A and B are shown apart, each in its own frame.
Chain A
Amino acid sequence: MPNVMLKKNTEGKLVFYVPKKDLEEVAESVEFDSPEKWGGEVVLSDGSTYYFEPQPQPDFPVTLRAKRLDSGE
């Protein structure tokens, strides 16, 4: 369950940053991406997938806990 810092870049895409891993990636897709419901499965440009509890869209930038899906963490 890494802590992930999320922000929008200038193109409006979601940027994913995991401090402990120096992982900085753009999110390719977000499962739920509306003001009322945000989260679910997030696929990064390097192919890895993370899961966020669906929730009302947070005010970016923000730090949230995520579950890594593709590594069985």
Chain B
Amino acid sequence: MAALTKEETEALIQEVLEIYPEQARKDRAKHLAVNDQSLEKSNKCITSNRKSLPGTMTIRGCAYAGSKGVVWGPIKDMIHISHGPVGCGQYSRAGRRNYYVGTTGVNAFGTRNFTSDFQEKDIVFGGDKKLAKIMTEIEALFPLHKGISIQSECPIGLIGDDIEAVAKKANKEIGKPVVPVRCEGFRGVSQSLGHHIANDAIRDWVLENRDGDDSFPTTPYDVAVIGDYNIGGDAWASRTLLEEMGLRVVAQWSGDGTIAEMEKTPKVKLNLIHCYRSMNYIARHMEEKYKIPWIEYNFFGPTKIAESLRKIAALFDETIQAGAERVIAKYQAEYEAVIAKYKPRLQGKRVMLYVGGLRPRHVIGAYEDLGMEVVGTGYEFGHNDDYDRTIKEMGNATLIYDDVTGYEFEEFVKRVKPDLIGSGIKEKYIFQKMGIPFRQMHSWDYSGPYHGYDGFAIFARDMDMTLNNPCWKQVNVPWKTADSSKVAVAAGA
């Protein structure tokens, strides 16, 4: 199917909006846009980071999810207490596939769920005593943990518990960092504020721990990888490239990360940011306080990898620059073979994305390396600075949707008819039932890594495996039968 023109895309947005009551239509209109590469700033065309409309299906999470689930959770040698009722932690436990090395329950705790399991009496009388007791128990039962974080769930803020005081006391008692995080789910409009709160907690309770302590031997090539959560091993596939070019990765935030690495980060020479959305706050803080510059990079697909390696290397001396070229040359035969194999099978296929964090823009290059085209993209919880960075990556007249509702997404898909959709578990089965190949782009659909050259090979294979799977020919959906035009109109009405 030919690409939609700018006018057609605009008309499509109008048509989809029609079903809403007036107020909702006005609000949602601000979140849907046709991409125009000539724009410098996204606020001219799209509004983001606003409260979702009641009554529409949003896919967003809460601030607790942003802090416990994203930023803090993967720090493997700390115990993260989901403070409050049991459900918030239990239903999100181990779902994010942040791989780590260690013995779970002994010196690593990534997939374990620790909770204060609030009962009615804790709500009525307060949970501070219980929290203090939990921490003493943790120290006795899991002596190899390196610290505790307290991840507040909604009730903590509502009943006004003083978790900071409990944390300070526990810190004296056990002699390890204890970090209270005020990430109650009701704060903010999405998980995004949770990232910010988590970053602030790192700033206030962790980063300064080794100020004035120079016992850690540094080199001119020390860097930290920030905002890589090691989904399916992503951070490992990234880290090897950096190390091969001669850099020393001192810290990994936070996939397969440790608190010691976080404490050492203020000693590095450069912070490398992969997920800008969730970690830019701390990078900006370190830039101001420790004068550590930071840059964003993108390790999806060979074009962007080479671009990023060169961009990183340009900030170091010639040995690193030569190192970057060496790394690119080393993997060239490998990635060219991947492209040679999969491009003919994927060429010209059109993709629609709807994810969070960095992926709505970062993976575009990887698809393009395979000859595919991204025709629609959007963020669950992006801000305008994310969309600023997206406009240039997307083609003209493509669709951009912010905090897209279930209804809008379905209608867009029916009309744009992409060959592949990349989004999350909540969207997966709807679109599969509509007969459209689908990949989960949060968890890599239980595959991965997708970062780095190693990851690209897996990415290409997965896309081919999904898109060209013979099962799609067996699915009969109304608009793929002979008289499809009529049905499409009926479906839109």
Contact = CB atoms under 8 A, between A and B. Distances in A.
A68 B306 CA distance: 41
B186 interface: no
A19 B281 contact: yes
Contacts of A36: none
Nearest to B314: A10
Interface string B6-48: 0000000000000000000000000000000000110000000
Give the residue among A17, A19, A24, A61 with the most B Cβ atoms within 10 A.
A61
B357 to A, nearest CB: 15
Which size bracket describes the interface of B in this complex? Answer: 10 to 19
Interface stretch (B262-270, B380-388, B428-436, B459-467): B380-388
A40 B287 CA distance: 24
Contacts of B288: 5, 7, 61-63
B403 to A, nearest CB: 15
A19 B195 CA distance: 13
Contacts of A63: 288
Contact of A22 (B40, B49, B287, B291): B49
A5 B385 CA distance: 15
B442 interface: no
A57 B288 CA distance: 15
Contacts of B40: 45-46
A22 B385 contact: yes
Interface string A1-37: 0000101000000000101001110000000000000
Contacts of B41: 46
Contacts of A5: 284, 288
A30 B131 CA distance: 52
B196 to A, nearest CB: 9
B128 to A, nearest CB: 31
Contacts of B49: 22
A22 B384 contact: yes
Which of the listed residues B40, B288, B388 has the most CB atoms from chain A within 10 Å of its own CB? Answer: B288
A61 B383 contact: no
Nearest to A62: B288
Interface string B363-396: 0000000000000000000011100100000000
Contacts of A46: 40-41
A5 B388 CA distance: 18
Contacts of A17: 284
Interface in A24-60: 24, 45-46
A45 B291 CA distance: 25
Nearest to B385: A22
A60 B406 CA distance: 45
Nearest to B281: A19
Contacts of B384: 22-23
Nearest to B386: A22
Nearest to B387: A22
B388 A61 contact: no
Contacts of B281: 19
A60 to B, nearest CB: 9
B287 A24 contact: no
Contacts of A7: 287-288
Nearest to A5: B284
A33 B222 CA distance: 33
Nearest to B288: A61
Nearest to B48: A22
A44 to B, nearest CB: 11
B382 to A, nearest CB: 9
A63 B383 CA distance: 21
A22 B386 CA distance: 9
A61 B287 contact: yes
A46 B40 CA distance: 9
B205 to A, nearest CB: 20
A60 B385 CA distance: 21
Contacts of B383: 22
Contacts of A23: 384
Interface string B72-91: 00000000000000000000
Contacts of A45: 40
A68 to B, nearest CB: 16
A19 B288 CA distance: 14
A55 to B, nearest CB: 17
Contacts of B284: 5, 17, 19, 61
A61 B294 CA distance: 12
A67 B24 CA distance: 34
A1 to B, nearest CB: 19
Interface of A: 5, 7, 17, 19, 22-24, 45-46, 61-63
Nearest 5 interchain pairs by C-beta: A22-B383, A22-B385, A61-B288, A22-B384, A61-B287
Interface of B: 40-41, 49, 281, 284, 287-288, 291, 383-385, 388
12 contacts: A5-B284, A7-B287, A17-B284, A19-B281, A19-B284, A23-B384, A24-B388, A46-B40, A46-B41, A61-B287, A61-B291, A63-B288
